[in-house]
């Protein structure tokens, strides 16, 4: 049978407050005895409790990490990325990350190959999301590139409008990114699409500027 140790001994020898021991015993239904008026648990259970306590004291919770990244704690994709990179402890009450390791990663995301999309979605370099974000473009990116090249601001909201106006198909793909659909075209078609649309714009602008720009 494992040796018994009192809450007061755990406090004096291992730095875990006796009230924290008593609270953990009740919360996790740890088998205990009352010896000389002091609650006592097995050394084996005490070792787990001591480890848990000190791990939490020197750690951030997942909620704290998410807040530092301006993200929602419900973002499981981000949590999986952080768990992949950071050492962490999983307890019944949540996931904890050593403060020193967490601060290093949070302060140097690029060094750990973590990228950001639309200023709020995180993904790993060379992963699935990185492939599409690097090799494809959205309607928003098309508008920005077109304005930069021709100094013309468009109000297009989707590729369907472009294809309808040009009467020419382009390989639009529906890509699931971070739980929502993005309509994207491979980057190799960007220059051709801009040239085609610029010709259309110039030809139609005098007739109906509103129609070509909306």
pLDDT digits (tens, 9 = 90+) for 63-101: 999 999 999 999 988 999 999 999 998 877 789 999 999
Span 175-190, mean pLDDT? 94
Span 178-203, mean pLDDT? 93
Alpha carbon separation from 180 to 29, 121, 163, 188, 204 (Å, rounded): 42, 11, 23, 24, 34
User: Does the pLDDT of residue 58 top 70, yes or no?
Assistant: yes
Q: Are residues 140 and 194 in the same domain?
A: yes
Q: Would you put residue 208 in left (φ > 0), alpha (ψ -120 to 50) or beta?
A: beta
pLDDT in tens, 136-158: 999 999 999 999 999 999 989 99
Measured distance CA(42)–CA(30) in Å, rounded: 9
User: Does the pLDDT of residue 171 top 90, yes or no?
Assistant: yes
Secondary structure (3-state) at 122: strand
Q: Are residues 146 and 209 in the same domain?
A: yes
Range of the domain at 161: 133-213
Helix 18-27, helix 7-14: angle, nearest 10: 130
Overall domain count for the chain:
3
CATH number, residue 118 = 1.10.1660
Q: Are residues 165 and 187 in the same domain?
A: yes
Helix (H) or strand (E) holding 197: helix 190-205
Q: Are residues 179 and 112 in the same domain?
A: no
Span 99-110, mean pLDDT? 94
End-to-end CA distance of the chain: 79
Q: Are residues 189 and 176 in the same domain?
A: yes
Which residue, of 124, 145, 180, is where some domain finishes?
Answer: 124
Q: Do 104 and 153 contact (CB within 8 A), yes or no? A: no
């Amino acid at each position: 049978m494992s040796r018994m140790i009192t809450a007061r001994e755990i406090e004096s020898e291992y730095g875990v407050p006796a009230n924290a021991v008593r609270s953990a015993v009740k919360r996790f239904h740890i088998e205990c005895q009352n010896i000389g008026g002091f609650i006592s648990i097995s050394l084996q259970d005490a070792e787990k409790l001591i480890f848990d306590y000190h791990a939490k004291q020197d750690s951030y919770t997942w909620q704290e990490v998410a807040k530092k990244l301006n993200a929602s704690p419900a973002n499981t994709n981000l949590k999986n990325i952080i768990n992949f990179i950071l050492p962490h402890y999983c307890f019944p009450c949540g996931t904890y990350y050593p403060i020193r390791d967490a601060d290093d990663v949070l302060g140097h995301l690029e060094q750990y190959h973590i990228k950001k999309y639309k200023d709020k979605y995180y993904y790993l370099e060379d992963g699935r999301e990185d492939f599409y974000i690097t090799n494809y473009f959205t309607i928003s990116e098309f508008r920005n590139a077109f304005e930069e090249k021709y100094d013309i601001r468009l109000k297009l909201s989707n590729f369907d409008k472009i294809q309808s106006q040009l009467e020419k198909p382009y390989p639009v793909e529906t890509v699931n990114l971070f739980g929502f659909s993005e309509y994207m075209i491979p980057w190799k078609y960007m220059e051709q699409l801009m040239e085609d649309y610029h010709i259309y714009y110039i030809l139609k602008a005098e007739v109906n500027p509103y129609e070509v720009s909306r």
